[in-house]
Chains A and B, each alone.
Chain A
Amino acid sequence: MTPEEFWKARTIERWAESAGHHADPPHVHQERLRVLEAFCNYTERSPDELVAFCFLRKRATGDRFVSVKRRVTVNEWLAAFVAEQGWKAKEAVQKANIVRSFLIHNGVLIQGDVWRGD
């Protein structure tokens, strides 16, 4: 995936539009994109492929559904990614949840860590 392909991904546009990122200061949005880009590189998947990974089709009907197992896998990837980046405490939770925000706004209901400290 080239940087150009990353920035032009349909799922990135959808995320920004659905979450109202255009109203945020540019540096805030850039930081989100940097986290997502790093995670995409870590998983060797484009943003569109990452969203598609979370969906499967039922053998009997062909209906598309959000896979529990695939979401568990994404959460495992996120835990490993966050550890590799060296993020800790609240920053680790927030950064992982940037990626989850991207998935959520693309139709993947996924939850992860919560920061319970003060």
Chain B
Amino acid sequence: MEFKQVVGNRRTIRYFDPNKPVEPEKIQVMLEAANRASRAVNADFTKAIVCYRDELTDEIREQLKTPTMTVQLDLAPVTIFWYGDTTFADGAQARLKQLVDLGALPVTHGWSHAYVDDVAYAQVVQPLSKDAMASTWAVSVECGLAIAQAMLAGVDEGLGVGLHAFNGANAKEVLKVPDHWIPMWVLLVGYPAESPDGGGQRPRPPLEHNFFRGAYGTPWVEIPEVTERLKREGMIQEPMNAERRHKEVRELAERFGLPL
């Protein structure tokens, strides 16, 4: 699938076909996409635990459920719990020097082993890793990048995906999560039971609402030809049709016995 089509096709899928298995090969593609994401100091910020619903014991499945995360966990054949590793600074010095040696951090931009030792690591990475708020910010941003790539890779593989919050305390115990991992999001994965377009694209404001040129207050001016091209290429799609969506929700509620 073309990249723009993948971005345009992504929805938060809330109804998965509970009985259609997800191929591990496709999950591996998603994990590799996360592994290839941009990452500061080339650190392993992002961790994930992949859970196949039917491989979990009833007891563990019940422990992972909360009153706000029961339907999704029952419907999605695969659940990926994403975590951020707060020990990202460990080994950062050596990794940065490796990137200098490889030329990824080039001398033309001021990089050297001495700069890594005296400044990049000693004055930036190490202090940041010891500041809880700054460290959580860095871990969260870096994990977000990786998770986004995994989601899009899933869509590219023909899967439905949905990102949600989860109960970190429950999951930590059940999944045996180390103390230095902090919970990020849970990604539900499966084949959509709903229409893959989820009833259409969710409402988004025009670019000028959020994006600026030069300075805040000067909105980005949309180029109409580009907008039209993105419609043709699938990044911008038909907006949600409430009537069609509500009809589909009623049908899904009937199929799964859900409340209306």
A→B interface (CB under 8 Å):
19, 68, 71-72, 75, 90, 93-94, 97-98, 100-101, 104, 109-116
Q: Is A100's CB under 8 angstroms from B259's CB?
A: yes
Q: Is B259's CB under 8 angstroms from A104's CB?
A: yes
Taking the nearest CB of chain A, how far is it from the CB of B57, in angstroms?
Answer: 17
Q: Is B70's CB under 8 angstroms from A112's CB?
A: yes
Contacts of B255 in A (CB 8 A): 115
Contacts of B259 in A (CB 8 A): 97-98, 100-101, 104
Contacts of B71 in A (CB 8 A): 111-112, 114
B49 at interface, CB cutoff 8 A:
no
> How many residues on chain B are close to A (CB under 8 Å)?
17
Which residues, 175 to 191 on B, are CB-close (under 8 Å) to A? none
Contacts of B75 in A (CB 8 A): 114, 116
Taking the nearest CB of chain A, how far is it from the CB of B202, in angstroms?
Answer: 20
7 pairs across A/B with beta carbons < 8 Å? A100-B259, A101-B260, A111-B69, A111-B72, A113-B70, A114-B75, A116-B75
Q: Is B256's CB under 8 angstroms from A68's CB?
A: no
B197 at interface, CB cutoff 8 A:
no
B18 at interface, CB cutoff 8 A:
yes
Contacts of B69 in A (CB 8 A): 111
Taking the nearest CB of chain A, how far is it from the CB of B14, in angstroms?
Answer: 11
B→A interface (CB under 8 Å):
18-19, 66-72, 74-75, 255-260
Cβ-neighbour of A114 out of B67, B68, B258, B260 (below 8 A): B258
Q: Which residue of B lies closest to A92 (CB)?
A: B257
A interface: dominant SS: helix
Cβ-neighbour of B257 out of A68, A71, A93 (below 8 A): A93
Q: Is A114's CB under 8 angstroms from B18's CB?
A: yes
Contacts of A19 in B (CB 8 A): 260
Q: Which residue of A lies closest to B167 (CB)?
A: A68
Contacts of A114 in B (CB 8 A): 18, 70-71, 74-75, 256-258
Known: A94-B257, A101-B260, A114-B70. 6 other contacts (CB 8 A): A100-B259, A112-B70, A112-B71, A113-B74, A114-B256, A116-B256
Q: What is the CA–CA distance of A11 and B69 in the complex, to the nearest angstrom?
A: 24
Q: Is A97's CB under 8 angstroms from B67's CB?
A: no
Q: What is the CA–CA distance of A91 and B248 in the complex, to the nearest angstrom?
A: 21
Q: Is B257's CB under 8 angstroms from A111's CB?
A: no
